[in-house]
Structure 1
Amino acid sequence: MDKHLDVINACRYCFMCRHLAPLALVTGKETDTPRGRALIADQIRMNKENLKNQDYVQALYQADLSGACRTHCVSSYDEVGLVLELRKDIVDAGVQPQPVKDFAQQFINPSFTITGEGDVLYFNHPCIKVHAPEMKTAFDKLAPKHKTIEGNDCGTALQILGYQKQADEAAEKFVKAVKESGCKTLVVPQPAAFHFIKSKNLLPDVKVLNTAEFLLTLDIPKKSGTLWPIDSDFLKNYQKNNAPRKLLEKLGYKLKEFGITHEESYTCGEGSMTMVFLYPENVAKLVERVREFAERYEAGTLVVASPYTKLALRTYAPELDVISVEEAAAR
C-alpha cells in the first residue's frame, strides 16, 4: 500500500470521477467510489488494525475495478493499483472473506493440456469453456486450424483477489505449457487474461493477440447491420486496445454508441473478474442499469468482447440480444 500513498493523498479529497464509478452509480454508496476506498486506505495507513475491519475488507473486495476513473483522471492516479495492493495486504494478513478464500482455491496449482495442430494457440479460458462456449465455436468456424490450450486460468483471478504468490506460480505453469506447444501466436479471448499476460510480458517470444486482433488478420466476408458495442474494461481502460471496434467496422457493421457517454463502463463488473460469482446482487444492479439504457435508447443487438459481460447480461437480463465479437464475425 505504501507505494500508492500519492493515490491515497489525492483521491481521498477528490470526487471528480464519481460519475464514472459504475458500482457507486447503482448503489449510491461513497465506499464504492475511488474517494471512499482512498479514505478506507487512509484509515488502514494510520492504524494497521483497521485492515481487520470487515466492513473495510468487504468494500475493497466489492470494487468493480473498471479502470474508468483511472483512465479519465487528469492526473492518472492509479486507484485500481491501490485496491489490488490492499487486497494483497488483506490476504497476507489472512483476513479475506471466506467466500473469497473458497473461490480462490479453484485457481491454485492449475494444470493445462494442449490439443490440435498449427502455429496458432487458442486459450480456451474456463470462463469461455464453462459459461460462453459459443465464443470458441465461432472462433473455430473462422479459424479451424489451430491448437487449443485449456485447463484453468493463467493467474489472473488469483492476482485480482490478492493471491500474488499463487498467481505467479500459476503464470509460470501457463507459460511453460505455452512454450512447450511451440506456437508462434497465442490468441487470448478473455480480456482479463489478455491484460495479465501482456502487462507482465510473460511471453516475449510469442505474439500475444486478443481475438479481435487475430481476426483482423483474416479475410472474413463483409457483414451488414447495426450493433451497439459494450467495450471491455480490460481492453479499453487497461490496454487502450480498440481492436474489437476496428474489426466490427472493417466487417461492415454500423456501430452506435451505447449509454450516456463513451467514458462510462457498462461491463457489469468485468474489471473485478469475480463479482458475478462473489457479489451477484451488485451485478444484478449493474445489469439493470444496462437494461434500462437499452430500453431507453432502443438499442438492438449488443456486442461484447468479454465472456464475463456476456454471462452477466445473460443471467440477469436474458431478454437482451447479446452476442460476442466472435459471433458477430462468424455470422
Structure 2
Amino acid sequence: MQISQKSKQHIDSCRFCWMCHHICPIGNATGLERNTARARALGLSLVARGAVPYSKDMIDNVYECALCGGCVHECVTGWDPVMFTKEARLAAALEGKLPPYIQKMLIHLQETGNIYGEEPKADIPELPDSDTLFFLGQDARVKGDCKAAILLLQKAGVPFTILRDEPNSGYAMDFMVGAAAETKDMMKKCADVLKPFQRVICYDPADAKVMKREYKEWGIDLVPEVITFTGFLAELIHSGKLQVKKQNLTFTPQDSPLLARDLEEVQPMRDILSACGTVKEMLLYGENTMMAGNLIMNEYMPDVMKKVAANRWVNAKNAGAENVVTQSPAEYILLNAVKPENINLLSLEEAVLACL
C-alpha cells in the first residue's frame, strides 16, 4: 500500500486510542468495532508494515468511513483519521483495487456527470444571465428538490442564474479516491466553467466545502467569490433584503459536518432560525454535530445510512424537537426516509418561506 510517512505516523498513533468512539456516526449505527477510527488504523498499520495484504475486506472497511471529521475534532492530540483514510482510498485506486461499487459510481460520474448515472430531475426555470450563479450540486439536481430554494431567492429579489449543464464540483471524486489526478482535473474543469461569474452561491455544503477548501489546497484558481447558501440567506436577512416575521415556532438545527467542521460555519443557520422563531438545540450540535447521512455511502450501505439517520431522530426526539431543520440536500433526503410522525422535517429554505 502506497501511503505517506505522515499518514503512517497518524495510523500508528490512532490504533491505540478510543477517544472518538462516541462521535462516529457509522460506529454508532453498526455497533461494530471495525467501524471506529482505532480499528481502521489498526488494520492499516498491519498493511503498511507488510504484515498482511491490502485485502478486499480491508478496502471495504476504508469505504465504511463517512469522512465526517468527528474523530478529528474530538482528538485532543491532533491525529487525523480522515487524512489516512483518504490516502488509503487513493492507494486502492492506484493499485487497481477499488471495490466494484466504487468503480460503478466512477463510471456513472464520467458518463453522466453524477454518481447515480441518472439524468437531473430538478425543474430548472428559465433565468436571465447574471454574474451570480446558484450552484445546485449533484444531489439536489438528481435526487432532491430545489424548488423552494429557487423560490426563496426569487422572493428576495436576488438576480441569479443556474447552469443547465452544471459541472460536477469534484466532491464525489474527492470522497471516493481523494487526491488523484482525475479529481484535480474535474475540479479544474469546474473552476473554468465558473470563471465568468463574480459570485457562486453553493446550495450543497459538499460543493462549498471542496470549492472553498480543496481547490485552494490543490492550487486551483477559483475566480468568483464562493459563499454557502446558508451564509447568503443570513446576509439577506441581516441586510433587510429578505423580510421574515418571527413566528411562534421552535426550530432544531441539524448541522452539516461539512459546514460546521470543515468550514467552521455554525452561526449563520442559528441567526436565520432565530429571526424566524426560537432555536432549540439537540445533543451533539455545532462543531460537535453528528452526521445524519451521506448519499454516496447510501449507494452501497443503505441499511447503515438508515440507522445513521434514525439515530439523529432519536437525538431530536430526546431534545423535544418540533421542527428539525437541515442545510444539506443529502441529509434531508435520508432523514425524510425514516422520519417519525410526531416531528417535522424542514429544509432551511422551507423554514424561512414559512416565516415570510
Normalising to structure 2: TM-score of the pair? 0.84
Gaps of 5+ in 2: 115-123
Comparing 32-41 with 102-111, greater Cα deviation is found at: 102-111
1:159 counterpart (169, 174, 194): 174
Distance in 1 of aligned mates of 2:302 and 2:268: 27
Aligned partner of 2:160 in structure 1 is 146
Distance in 2 of aligned mates of 1:241 and 1:261: 12
Shift of 1:250: 5.4
Distance in 1 of aligned mates of 2:67 and 2:18: 17
Gaps of 5+ in 1: none
CA RMSD of aligned residues (A): 2.4
2:206 corresponds to 1:192:
yes
Cα distance change on mapping 1:315 and 1:253 into 2, 3 Å: same
Any residues of structure 2 matched to 1:227-306 within 5 Å, and which? 227-249=251-273, 251-259=275-283, 264-270=288-294, 274-306=296-328
Normalising to structure 1: TM-score of the pair? 0.90
Any residues of structure 2 matched to 1:100-119 within 5 Å, and which? 100-108=102-110, 116-119=128-131
Shift of 1:259: 2.6
2:182 corresponds to 1:172:
no
Deviations 1:16-65, CA, capped at 9 Å, x for gaps: 111111111121111111111111210110128622x1111111101122
Q: Percent identity?
A: 22
The AA in structure 2 aligned to 1:314 is N
Shift of 1:101: 0.6
User: Secondary structure, in 3 states, of the residue corresponding to 2:162?
Assistant: strand
Cα distance change on mapping 1:115 and 1:134 into 2, 3 Å: closer
2:55 corresponds to 1:57:
no
User: Secondary structure, in 3 states, of the residue corresponding to 1:322?
Assistant: strand
Shift of 1:302: 0.6
Aligned partner of 2:344 in structure 1 is 321
Count of matched residue positions in the alignment of Structure 1 and Structure 2? 326
2:132 counterpart (109, 120, 126): 120
Cα distance change on mapping 1:244 and 1:109 into 2, 3 Å: farther
Cα distance change on mapping 1:14 and 1:161 into 2, 3 Å: same
Cα distance change on mapping 1:262 and 1:111 into 2, 3 Å: closer
Higher relative contact order (CA 8 A, sep 6+): 1
Distance in 2 of aligned mates of 1:330 and 1:174: 31
Aligned partner of 1:10 in structure 2 is 13
Any residues of structure 2 matched to 1:131-142 within 5 Å, and which? 131-137=144-150, 138-142=152-156
Distance in 1 of aligned mates of 2:148 and 2:337: 17
Cα distance change on mapping 1:50 and 1:116 into 2, 3 Å: farther
2:72 counterpart (60, 70, 73): 70
The AA in structure 2 aligned to 1:311 is I
Shift of 1:238: 1.0
